A and B are shown apart, each in its own frame.
Chain A
């Protein structure tokens, strides 16, 4: 079960897009763009490194 939960973290987090409202959960793919938005909005950054080992 723990492994399923673990694998689910990436799936759940990155699939949070299709029910997007105006305040949607889209993810930037450019770090510089995200950094600029964080500077403008005052929000913290959540940076996910998704790599195949």
Chain B
């Protein structure tokens, strides 16, 4: 399908000034703030640099799941509608311009990439930024590593070609009263026009929050909903982010339930977890000697954390990439002291 001006998509595009950015070096990343692990991402804004909306976003299923020509056309039309309101002085969503910030303001990015004339790729901005926060001791792993939580984890499943229309709701969203056909219009009292907007605002929810408010439109009426957030609601699969700060441990686990912990004489409130998968590289790289079925119940002397229910996640949240982690393991009837040499990854980056 060609998008020349005679097509509906082309006609919509022709009403915009269009720019494609492939090098982030001189881009104001304070203004253009988004999940930089997207291969393609759009902003619609006016010449006063007030952002009307974002388009794009992804989850662990892949980079294209929320990309759809129908929803893109819908977004372009919404952008023009917002622009009309702006020109009439009726823009409801007034957003102050964020403080300017540039990739060169991230010292490690400057030192390893910009200084050498290398391309400032989007994902490098976040990666080096997080490394800076780790160095400064300001890293919040639940917020900074587990970023842009998946809305499906609280039961929101969108009818993607129709933007923020709900296809079906399950779990917490369903319990809160969300219905198929609802149109999500706000989260935490912040208006949203696209999935990218929703994902961006959802990411701002405090990781300690127990609830999140949303507003939907249903049969012409505005309906407020309060969605209970389950524990670890913010968890996402990090595999595609290749974050330097993420300690790689080369196994997956399943937290034991209360009955299982009791039968093994383990702390009922602990994060004891059974190893369910081992990456073949673990042995080759000398990462650990864990085996399938092992129960890891203690990590560096700690057996429980009030916020974390599984030991792998505990490691991700409390250890630095490259740390040597001592674990107590139940293998059959034996208790073993083992070691995990967590790894730091340098995907397409300079080693430090």
Contacts and interface: CB of A to CB of B under 8 A. Distances in A.
Interface of A: 2-3, 5-10, 12-16, 19-21, 23-31, 33-35, 37-39, 41-53
Given A5-B67, A48-B42, A21 B4 contact: yes
Nearest to B13: A25
Given A46-B79, A51-B39, A51-B123, A23 B46 contact: no
B42 to A, nearest CB: 5
Which of A34, A35, A37, A49 has the most chain B CB atoms closer than 10 A to its own CB? Answer: A49
B244 to A, nearest CB: 15
Nearest to A32: B26
A53 B123 CA distance: 6
A40 B223 CA distance: 41
Given A3-B62, A25-B14, A44-B45, A50 B21 contact: yes
A53 B37 contact: yes
Interface in B1-59: 1-5, 9-10, 13-22, 24, 27, 32, 34, 36-47, 49, 52
Interface string B90-118: 00000000000000000000000000000
Contact of A5 (B45, B69, B240): B69
Contacts of B38: 49, 51, 53
Given A28-B19, A46-B19, A47-B45, 5 more contacts: A8-B69, A45-B17, A45-B18, A45-B46, A53-B63
A27 B20 contact: yes
A14 B16 CA distance: 14
B14 A23 contact: yes
Given A2-B68, A45-B44, A25 B5 contact: yes
B149 to A, nearest CB: 18
A28 B17 CA distance: 8
Given A25-B3, A50-B40, A41 B67 contact: no
A44 B21 contact: no
A28 B34 contact: no
B19 A9 contact: no
B69 A9 contact: yes
Contacts, number: 172
B281 interface: no
A14 B66 CA distance: 18
Contacts of A10: 39-40, 67
A53 B67 contact: no
B43 to A, nearest CB: 4
Interface string B115-137: 00000011100000000000000
B231 interface: no
Contacts of A2: 64-65, 68, 160
B168 interface: no
| Residue from B20, B34, B38, B160 with most neighbouring chain A CB atoms (10 Å) | B20
B1 A13 contact: no
B34 A43 contact: no
Contact of B17 (A20, A21, A43, A50): A43
Contacts of B148: none
A45 B45 contact: yes
